[in-house]
Structure 1
Amino acid sequence: MNRSRTALAGVLALTLALPGCAGGPERSAPGDGVRGPLTVFAAASLTESFTRLGEEFEAAHPGTTVTFSFAGSSALATQINQGAPADVFAAASAATMRTVSEAGNADGDPVTFARNQLVIAVPKGNPKGVARLADLTRADVKVALCAEQVPCGAAARTALDAAGVPLTPVTLEQDVRGALSKVRLGEVDAALVYRTDAIAAAREVDAVEFPESAGAVTDYPIVALRHAGNATAAREFVGFVLSDRGRAVLTAAGFQPPRA
């Protein structure tokens, strides 16, 4: 499975956070028909949790190899609609997922499996004393945002408009990890990112909650793809993400459950 160093660090953190994880899920029966390569396109904010789920899926289905492509949801949707080979798509935006469904590339209806909320990520110790959205407009505070066509950027714009904050960022990034990295590298003083991303980088950043984020919560839908090369494994993986075990991993990473 392809893994970044960040993903591996998140996996270690989740291992400590989740009880009874050492043994992983029970292995499936050898004849369950789930084997072979599986390619999952997933929003960048799912890196740690999906890496963990991929490892558990492989353990449960010997002979299966899960490969992830993590990036901005809009970029992944474009790749899928242009024919990129993938079996499953997990997006950080219902609107972005809709572009894949309307292009005829979804195998069935997407299902929302998690929700996420924005926080203000600041360097450890919050040296600029950022406490609310309005603080991001101060002349001494440099801010990174996601581009508005990216789900985290659309959510940020909704929150900023609700707060009446006319923020001009110094950089617009193509996914939430890009915005977070600007804080981690000391290139900006703050960034609007998902709560889960701030949790994953908790050794390097602090998270400042703000009330306007409640009006810009992001839904995460998932679907098996119509032209999946491994349709059986794709459907099984989607089911695993929606299972109680999938929910436990996502909750430990800071995701909220979908609306009932």
Structure 2
Amino acid sequence: MTSTRTRSARRSALAVATAGVALVALTACSSSATTPAASAASSSSGAPSATASAGTALSGKLTVFAAASLKNTFTKFGKEFEAAHPGVTVTFNFGGSDTLAASIVSGAPADVFASASLATMTTVTKASDNAAAPANFARNALEIAVVPGNPKNITSLSALAAPGTKVALCAKTVPCGAAAVKALGAANVKVTPVTYEQDVTSALTKVELKEVDAALVYRTDVLGAKGKVVGVDFPAAQQAITTYPIAPLAHGSNSAAAQAFTAFVLSAPAQQELAAAGFQAP
């Protein structure tokens, strides 16, 4: 009887120990499944979370190539990211998305690409697998930018075709130019600009300097100008929405920081900041 009880006790102890090991393993698997992106996205208030996975300290230089229309917001993001990761220095290269994409494909050193065009992002991702799978993080709509007071009384796209009206457009190869072509086509309006600019910032500057009467730029650029220009909405803008994708670059020198910054931009608090700047949800 005693021997039988002893064997039964040993079998019970072994079962308990096995269950304990299984529970520990399951807990470990659950913990390892949490990614930086998921962690960042779970935050819903305050400054955007830029926290890397537990126990990981980010450091080094992070180079971000970003569309010109992202300059105001991303410059702020860079400072917030550096504050969360004192060992990281964020450097930006802002410009036309097509120019940035060409530079990346040609081997320019960059860790993250944030484009104002799905087509230019595709150019990068298809070139020797230069980037991880991109994620859309924002959208943007065009507005007509005019000087305060709107002396030419420009209230519609058709007004841009009026004789004597000087208009600046982005080059057709850059996202703001492609969007302008689409919007003008949807409204059946033909505009002959006095200048084609290589990025949206340059087009906006032409209005600020009163070198032109109007320019087709993004709503976010009008808001970012802080009163130096006034924006005029028009219905066809909704038929030419620009989508912004972001991706860490596979051949960048700081992969960990690139992934963390991408997660940072996709986080809920960062999305709130983008919305405050005039961007639409992706």
Calculate the TM-score normalised by the size of structure 1: 0.88
RMSD: 1.6
Local SS of the residue matching 1:237: helix
Q: CA 1:144–1:138 in 2, change beyond 3 Å: closer, same or farther?
A: same
Matching residue within 233, 241, 244 for 1:217: 241
Report whether the alignment pairs 1:247 with 2:268.
no
2:203 equivalent among 179, 201, 204: 179
The match for 1:75 among 74, 99, 109 is 99
SS at match of 1:251: helix
Gaps of 5+ in 1: 1-18
Matched, 1:45 2:45: no
Q: CA deviation at 1:25?
A: 5.4
**Aligned pair in 2 of structure 1 residues 78, 27: CA closer, same or farther (>3 Å)?**
closer
Instruction: Give 1:3's aligned residue.
Output: none
Change (3 A) 1:20 1:243: closer
> TM-score, normalization: structure 2?
0.81
Q: 1:62 to 1:30 in 2, by over 3 A?
A: farther
Measured after TM superposition, the shift of residue 246 of structure 1 is 1.3
CA distance in 2, matches of 1:56, 1:38: 13
Corresponding residue for 1:93?
Answer: 117
Q: Does 1:200 align with 2:200?
A: no
Secondary structure of the corresponding residue to residue 240 of structure 1? helix
Q: Which residue of structure 1 aligns with residue 170 of structure 2?
A: 146
Q: Is the 8 A contact 2:51 2:260 kept in 1?
A: no
Pairs aligned (count): 238
Question: What residue number does 2:7 align with?
Answer: none
Structure 1 residues 217, 33: closer, same or farther in 2, change over 3 A?
Answer: same
Task: Point out the structure with the larger helix share.
Answer: 2
* Structure 2 residue 66 is the aligned partner of structure 1 residue 66: no
Q: Does 1:161 align with 2:185?
A: yes
Any idea what the Cα deviations from partners look like across 1:152-208, whole Å, max 9, x if unmatched?
000000000111111110000000001000000000000000000000013110000
For the pair 1:57 / 2:81, whether they are aligned, the reply is yes
Ranges of 4+ aligned residues in structure 1 off by more than 3 Å = 24-31
Aligned-residue identity in percent: 56
Q: Please, which of 138, 146, 156 is the counterpart of residue 114 of structure 1? A: 138
SS at match of 2:196: strand
CA deviation after TM superposition for structure 1 residue 62, in Å: 1.4
Unpaired runs of 5+ in structure 2? Answer: 1-44
Residue 258 (structure 2) aligned to one of 234, 241, 245: 234
**C-alpha spacing 1:105/1:70, structure 2 compared with 1 (3 Å):** farther
Deviation track 1:28-51 (CA, whole Å, cap 9, x = no partner) reads 799423111000000000001001
